[in-house]
Each structure stands twice: as C-alpha cells, then as structure tokens.
Structure 1
Amino acid sequence: MKREVLLLSRRCAIAAMGLGLLGLHATPAAAKAKLGEDGLYQMDWYLESFLDLSEDLAAATAKSKRFAVMWGLKGCPACKRMHEVHLMDPAVEAYIRDNFEVLHLNHVGARTVTDFDGRKLGEKALGEAYGIRFTPTIQFFPEQTTGLAALSGQAREVARMPGLLDPAAFLAMFRYVREKGYETAPFPDWLKKQV
C-alpha cells in the first residue's frame, strides 16, 4: 500500500511539474545544431539574411551586437566539432547568441552575396576574395560600414578566427571582438593578459 502511494505521488509530481504547478522550472536546453540540406550545421539563432553584408552589419549594430561571418563546408570535421562541442556549452552559446549576429556561409556555395562595396558574388567567389582557405573560419567586422567599401578583403575585418580554437580560446575570441581588444593588441597578446 505504501509503495502505491509513493508511485502515485511521483506520478502526480511529474504531472504537476509538466503543468508548472510545483513552481519548479526546467533549465532551458541548449540550442541544438541542425544539419541543413546544404550539409552545413545551423543554429536556430543564426542570422536569417538577404545576404547583403552592409545591411546585416547595420542591423547587428542597431541591436547592439557585432557582426560575424562564419564559413563552413559540408563534411568538415572541425565544423562538426564546433557545433557539437563548442556551441553546445550553454555559456559559450549564450554569449555568442546574445552579443553577435552570425551569418553562416558555405565555402563552396553559390548563393549570391552583396559585399560591402556593392559587388554581387557567389559565396565561393566571396570567400576567395576574402582569402578564406579552410573551414571553419570566422570573420569579425567593425561596428560601422563607414569606409569598408574602399577597403578590400581581409582589410575590412577587425579580427579573424582561422580554424577551430580550443573551447576557451574560441569564446575568448568572441570576447576580444565584443570588448574591442583588437584596438589595443593582437589576439594572442590580449589573451595572455586575460589569464
């Protein structure tokens, strides 16, 4: 008899939790990376874009966020690790989601992207123009588009993450950009001062 009461109590507690009656709130699950039809991993908070870099940067700045372009490739093991390990850390995912607008482009893709100077290029050609050689690569841009059209390629960036860093350095790179560490020191020097 006592066992039946205990089971009934557990069932009632589970039902009450599901209805929110016990005042207990489940911690929100971390966003899950989904594999898109193009073979790229996507997070539900990645930027939905008309692929106009100037517009995307201006919109990010209007939201008090920074703008970054992430380059991925179907079958890239480091891209998979970044999405299944680095971005599954709730602290890392929350920091990036809350402070950045991330546009995920395909290193060999054909979608047309409007660059800061108004040129329309396919993803692959845009990556070549910026000297993107491997994936993942993340480009970080300034807060304003002023003067970007006159620059070319990597000169438009305030920082670049070429390849996948270990999780701590990965998050630190995003902090470096958000805190404008690039104004005072190269990333490796800035990182040494943070320890």
Structure 2
Amino acid sequence: MYSRRQFLNMAGGAAVVIPAAVPLAGIAGRNAAAAELSEDGLHVQDWFVDSFLDLTEDHATAAAEGRHFAVIIEQRGCPYCRDTHEINFAHPKVREYIPANFDMLQLNLHGSRMVTDFDGEELEERELARKWLVNFTPTIVFFPIDAAAVEGKSGRDAEAARLPGYFRPFTFMQMFKFVHEEKFVDSTFQRYLAERVAEMDAQGLDPAAW
C-alpha cells in the first residue's frame, strides 16, 4: 500500500493538493470544535459505529443501508487525529456528507480489543493495524460496498482506497466522494482530484476557500 509520500505523488503533489489546502490556522479559526475524548484517549464522533468488531457484519450493516464502510485507525496523543476531528469532521460539508454515506468504525493503533477481519482471522487492534500495514495516524481505510469484493479477504486485500495521514478538508472530502461514487473501479484518486480542482477553477471558485 502507498506510503504518505507515494500518496501525495499519486494525488498530484503540489499541483493538486496544495491549492486545495488552507493554512491550518485559517481553518481552525473558522471551523474548529472541541472533540470528545474516549476513555483510551481517542477523539470520537457520536456517529461512529458502535460495533462488536466483526468487520464482515459491520460491512453488511452499512451496505444494507446503502452506505460504504470505512475504518479509521488513530492513537492517543496524535495531533493529526485531533485535527481530523476538530477541523475536518467539524466542517459543515464534511459533517453532513460523511455520516449520510458512510459507516465508520474507529480502531486504536495500539489497542487490545479483538477484531475479526473479513477473512475470519480474529486478532487485536494493534495486530490488525500491522497486518494492514498502517504506518500513519490517522489512517482511513475504505471498502467496496459489494459483499463479494470483501468476502474471505483480509482488509488489506479488500480495501478500495486508503487515506494515510492528515489531509485538509477539501482533499479529505474528495476522497470520500471518490469512494462513494465508486470511481476507484476505473479511475485513480489523482485524476478524480485534479478533475474536481479543474471544475472549481472553471467556475471561478478557489479550492483554498472551500
């Protein structure tokens, strides 16, 4: 799976991601909101999935209601996890779009809860993170909505897309749209993101002000 550097290159690097980003202080002043902390020190959202940690069941529940399934992996004390919650998830467009179209399960990079992967293997959260080659927090792993696409596979083999590390709200939101619209089937996120930026430019809109 892609490293963060490879992902940035795939997404177009400075040509795409930077124009779509806003200086952090500018976003924080407009959108930041304190996020609730769980007992293990992770920032949480009230719309996150309350789960028995069987990924096949969680995926099936989401699919039955027409939503995609995603797993967000975070850790205590991670400043980029905090920014994801207090900036990205607090953005009105993001806050409206994601819960309507995705079921998201939060896992702890160092956690010991037992999780059942799509291939039936039961292992601790931290072991699952290693199995999936998660190297950054936050990392969001997205899955196809089709049950046949995940059945019997590990999450790493079944994933449709991955967002490794922190990205500003515009790029962040486009990844969710890329997955929800199932563009991963015949396109790349690099192309999708470039097209969205070009559309905004044609309308005289600045992605940096999104």
Is the counterpart of residue 170 in structure 1 residue 172 in structure 2?
A: yes
The amino acid that maps onto 2:138 is P
Q: 1:1-195 maps to which residues of 2 (within 5 A)?
A: 33-195=35-197
Alignment partner, residue 3 of structure 1: none
Alignment partner, residue 208 of structure 2: none
Query: What CA deviation, in whole Å up to 9, does each residue of 1:62-120 have, x standing for no partner?
Result: 11110000000000000000101111111111100111000000000000001111110
How high is the TM-score relative to the length of structure 2?
A: 0.75
Structure 1 unmatched runs, 5+ = 1-29
Does the 8 Å CA contact 1:35/1:42 hold for their aligned counterparts?
Answer: yes
Does the 8 Å CA contact 2:78/2:137 hold for their aligned counterparts?
Answer: yes
Give 4+ residue runs of structure 1 displaced > 6 Å after superposition.
none
The amino acid that maps onto 1:48 is D
Alignment partner, residue 11 of structure 1: none
Instruction: Count how many residue pairs are aligned between Structure 1 and Structure 2.
Output: 166
Give the alignment's Cα RMSD to 1 decimal. Answer: 1.6
Does the 8 Å CA contact 2:119/2:152 hold for their aligned counterparts?
Answer: yes
How high is the TM-score relative to the length of structure 1?
A: 0.81
Aligned equivalents of 1:131, 1:145: Cα separation in 2: 23
Aligned partner of residue 85 in structure 1, secondary structure: helix
**1:152 Cα offset (Å):** 3.6
The amino acid that maps onto 1:41 is H
**1:32 Cα offset (Å):** 6.1
Bigger CA radius of gyration:
1
Aligned partner of residue 160 in structure 1, secondary structure: strand
Relative to structure 1, the CA distance from residue 67 to residue 123 in structure 2 (aligned partners, 3 Å threshold; closer, same or farther) is same
Q: Which fold has the larger relative contact order, with Cα–Cα distance below 8 Å and residues 6 or more apart in sequence?
A: 2
**1:185 Cα offset (Å):** 1.3
Report which stretch shifted further, 53-62 or 147-156: 147-156
Does the 8 Å CA contact 1:116/1:145 hold for their aligned counterparts?
Answer: no
Aligned equivalents of 2:48, 2:151: Cα separation in 1: 25
Relative to structure 1, the CA distance from residue 82 to residue 147 in structure 2 (aligned partners, 3 Å threshold; closer, same or farther) is closer
Aligned equivalents of 1:153, 1:55: Cα separation in 2: 13
